[in-house]
Structure 1
């Protein structure tokens, strides 16, 4: 019969997650080096999200899926229990959590990118969804965790995976450690302020932007690209061997560059710097505000 354990508090869960993030990063680095040796550097630059998703899935499959603790859980001595804490989660729940945690965010990102690159109302809707960032929704869920100490990730809430201490807990010491309510409050305030400002500016721009396709917070409000380097007469000062985007490997559309001078498609480099604040070629510092569209 399973012995009822004490649910883990937020500080312990955060420490375990930080350890796991470190080991996942180490695994990703090794996986990237392997992919570079087998498939080449171009493949690594073209598929960073796929490699990151694979590294996370591999780490969880070797630990959580087979019923073992992750290295972070081992470090803090945490175990998975069900919603009521009276039984261990079944294999199906663990598998569902891994699939939701790794594949769902990857699928949503790719779907939105495809919609934005298309035409019609779906493309416009995808661009507007960018202003209500899905990352902010996950941050709100994180704030809820800081308030309650339950379910660090949304996928764990979905499949009922909670953490419990693997040892007997001194309740007086547990209370003395405190919690993260203040941090949760700051996250909520940040998300609300950020999205209120973005949405207000977005609708103000929508009312005043001309139909020719001005840049609105980093996105062109138009159906077709203004500058397509497939046409040799467009921006002739760019040499023929430099007109291909090194991220999508196609002739550039709406070319843009950072302070380092490397040129990419506007959409490609904008999506890149949202995840990594560096040039994909030379690793120089690069921010969204530094991107310059070429004319």
Structure 2
């Protein structure tokens, strides 16, 4: 009597895991861009700027809920012929954690954080320390992945989620090694820990947001009369002149005006948020460097 043999699959190689994540990022980014274009045409740029975090959260949740949540491959995993391998038991809870842990905490912190910090200033320092620790742990995890090649994301390491491959391993082919990347990441991390982390654009050695006393996470800009950085006396301006002071991103009157290297004028908060997502001028598509934005208070 012959016994049924259960097939075994090898762990996915580093290159497969990297390509799967890259393809998923491309598809999520494309889906978000198309959704934003539709919402922008319906509700306008200012509405989209106000609810951009909810849009991003919804896109990511929908994409991963329809794939990982349903125990089927994502488009990236299908492209590389890999599958998520979960430990026995509690599979539904693990899949839910894979979807929610990378998305919900960061959204709640970004959306609810500013109001909580105003009421409890000490929470800001605690949250900053926690976020910094998570970023360092993620960097270390990525470096270990490039050296050892198992867990690409910190969440997957904590949950013990691995990838298996349906492609047989060729014993005559040596897989590529990414160990050098892991070493370089550790060197970069060591440099960041030794010196100040200058992720935010700097101007004359100071963060740009502190120069303008501007919070990039704020929802909407103030009106022209309430904006303290606008030194013009808007009450004495004619209606026609004020009508020409329009930010081409939000299509409303410019406040805290700044100019790009290519000579275009925008609201500071509009172009700042734009530049964090796309390093190009929204009008002429020339290179956009946030450290070279010039505040102009009298235009």
Match of 2:275 among 245, 261, 273: 273
CA RMSD, 1 decimal? 4.3
Structure with bigger gyration radius = 2
Q: Gaps (5+ residues) in structure 1?
A: 206-213
Residues 115 and 55 of structure 1, relative CA distance in 2, 3 Å threshold: same
Number of the residue aligned with 2:218: none
Deviations 1:225-273 (A, max 9, x none): 9x99535895117764538896697984x5544234323245x644542
Q: TM (normalized to structure 2)?
A: 0.71
User: Which deviates more, 177-186 or 87-96?
Assistant: 87-96
The answer to whether residue 80 in structure 2 is matched with residue 76 in structure 1 is yes
Residues 65 and 293 of structure 1, relative CA distance in 2, 3 Å threshold: same
Deviation (angstroms), 1:20 = 1.7
User: Structure 1 CA distance, aligned partners of 2:163 and 2:121?
Assistant: 43
1:93-242 matches, within 5 Å, as 93-111=94-112, 118=118, 121-122=121-122, 125=125, 138-171=138-171, 173=173, 176-198=174-196, 216-220=206-210, 229-231=224-226, 234-236=230-232, 240-241=242-243, 242=245
User: Structure 2 CA distance, aligned partners of 1:247 and 1:40?
Assistant: 8
User: Structure 2 CA distance, aligned partners of 1:39 and 1:222?
Assistant: 29
Deviation (angstroms), 1:163 = 0.5
User: Structure 2 CA distance, aligned partners of 1:56 and 1:95?
Assistant: 13
Residues 294 and 215 of structure 1, relative CA distance in 2, 3 Å threshold: farther
Number of the residue aligned with 1:293: 295
Aligned length: 275
1:18-57 matches, within 5 Å, as 18-57=22-61
Match of 1:44, SS?
helix
Number of the residue aligned with 1:262: 265
User: Structure 2 CA distance, aligned partners of 1:195 and 1:3?
Assistant: 46
Residues 178 and 223 of structure 1, relative CA distance in 2, 3 Å threshold: closer
Deviations 1:138-193 (A, max 9, x none): 333322221221221222223332111124434553xx113211111112222332
Deviations 1:48-81 (A, max 9, x none): 3433332222211111111111121112111111
Deviation (angstroms), 1:10 = 1.3
Residues 287 and 190 of structure 1, relative CA distance in 2, 3 Å threshold: same
Contact 1:131 1:195 in 2 (8 A): no
Match of 1:26, SS?
helix
Deviations 1:184-205 (A, max 9, x none): 11122223324533259x9xx9
Residues 20 and 247 of structure 1, relative CA distance in 2, 3 Å threshold: same
User: Structure 2 CA distance, aligned partners of 1:9 and 1:218?
Assistant: 42
Deviations 1:256-292 (A, max 9, x none): 44234323245x6445423332345665532221122
User: Structure 2 CA distance, aligned partners of 1:166 and 1:37?
Assistant: 43
Number of the residue aligned with 2:18: 14
